[in-house]
Copies of this chain bind each other. A is one copy, B any other.
Amino acid sequence: MEEKLNQLKSRLAEVIDLFRVANLLSWDQQTCMPPGGAKERGEQLGTIRRLAHIKLTSDEIGKILDELKPMVAGLDPDSDAARLVKVTNREYEKRTKVPPKLVSELAELAAVAHQAWEQARAENNFPKFQPYLEKVVDLRRRYAACFEPYEHVYDPLLAEYEPGMKTAEVQQIFADLRPQQVALIKEITNRPQVDDSALHQHFDPQKQWDFGLEVITKFGYDWQRGRQDKAAHPFTSNFGIGDVRITTRILPDYVASALFSTMHEAGHGMYEQGIDPSLGRTLLGETFSHALHESQSRMWENLVGRSKPFWQHFYPRLQEYFPTQLGNVPLETFYKGINKVEPSLIRVEADEATYNLHIMLRLELEIALVSGELEVKDLPEAWNSRMHDYLGITPPDNASGVLQDVHWAHGYIGYFSTYALGNLISTQLWERINADIPDLEGQIRQGKFDQLLDWGRQKVHQHGCKFDAQELVKQITGSQIDAAPYMRYLTSKYSEIYGL
């Protein structure tokens, strides 16, 4: 069995290398690449993803898996060997259903669609992006068709980002969450609004950058195995467990944007830096569950970064960076300001109370597009009308509406709901962490994060993708993904801030 496992691993090593190389091509495209490189970059990404696909779906891997399956049947099902065979087999079966040509068409389209989206957003010109998005939807439908029969046409797309999760499951969780969240927002908006004008001043971008670095260095983000760059849409990418990079975006007139995006991406980054190196160059070293990923970024961004103990430690330091802007602003005002709840246009700037509604809107639109109930040309109108229904506001233009996110340009249909699931998981884990580290609040108040990071390393990070989101959440908390802790957290937090 050892020999067969090694045969599998040596083949997977090549596949993982190709995955990592595709990550670098894409990272570079978003941080460094001059515009003239777009066409060839698309071709290169197409070639690399096609080769990875061909290699991962090769008959040799299929044969080795067939030989290994009975061999690992007697092992502990949670052992690395058993999980490696299980996860590899799932990915193998998933990918053998998709023709390589479709994979490379998607990759090549993503490169040119990204450029078109950037232009369309800059010019507030949806029709410029429309033909690309139509192609994306078409290719994603053809992708889903490879998995017929399915319970729901959206299931195969969701499974790309959240293995083991079904559309119906997410719809159920959201159906449970939505009325509670809407009711809370209503309660909040009936209370006097907090004043966050102190956050909206000019803050030197370099100082914003420096303060962000100081914070995430204290978190434990490892600079020997990472770096930070600027990108239009912040993201984290890895080129190995030894090289996990983050990006941020700085707004000169709003201090909260770069700050929380930096903490958010550092959360993603520390997750991937924490994977057990022994899982490297196998599929177990991947992080297929986007909800688990997001639970880590949201934990550092919100449960740590928007908490009062955190700012009891860091606010005096931030005031040193910006004495003119914040020297006379009390901590309490700042704390309320960064936790202001207000229905707004841009998902990535949304507060914790309204965020999930942005996600529900996208999930519903994606399902409508893929199932053919909505045409791309009608998308801006559908977007705007739903924004009005859910959040009570209508985007003044498509740049701050339907064109705000990069995901669809990259072909990522099925992705968004994992953001909301990540929010829910983060608070489920947070309740457990506080039970395991009773002094956590005191530690955060002192700017100490080593026990917290270590908890994440042990319970979540090291496992890579050995366990699906539902499995791992159950393992750690004893319960499935559940909206109740998130609502408890929001209610408690905003009761204090808004005096509910």
Contact = CB atoms under 8 A, between A and B. Distances in A.
Contacts of A281: 40, 43
Contacts of A280: 40
A280 B17 CA distance: 25
Interface string A436-465: 000000000000000000000000000000
Contacts of A223: 34
B44 A226 contact: no
A44 B15 CA distance: 10
Contacts of A47: 13-14, 17-18, 21
Contact of A40 (B34, B51, B229, B243): B243
Nearest to A13: B43
A150 to B, nearest CB: 33
Contacts of A35: 224
A332 to B, nearest CB: 39
Q: How many copies are assembled?
A: 2
Contacts of A227: 32, 34
Contacts of A13: 43, 47
A17 B43 contact: yes
Interface stretch (A234-242, A297-305, A408-416): A234-242
A191 to B, nearest CB: 46
Q: How large is the interface on A (under 10, 10 to 19, 20 to 34, 35 or more residues)?
A: 35 or more
Nearest to A32: B227
Q: Please classify the interface of chain A as helix (H, G, I), strand (E, B), loop, or mixed, using the class held by over half of its residues.
A: helix
Contacts of A239: 28, 33, 37, 40-41, 44
Interface in A321-369: none
A39 interface: yes
Contacts of A39: 240, 242
A43 B9 CA distance: 14
Contacts of A222: 36
A159 interface: no
A198 interface: no
Contacts of A25: 21, 24
B21 A240 contact: no
B17 A48 contact: yes
A317 B13 CA distance: 54
A38 interface: yes
Interface string A193-226: 0000000000000000000000000000011111
Interface of A: 13-14, 17-18, 20-21, 24-25, 28, 32-41, 43-44, 47-48, 51, 222-227, 229, 239-243, 245, 280-281
Given A34-B245, A41-B240, 16 more contacts: A17-B43, A24-B25, A33-B239, A33-B243, A34-B225, A34-B227, A34-B243, A36-B225, A38-B242, A40-B239, A40-B241, A40-B242, A40-B243, A40-B280, A41-B239, A41-B243
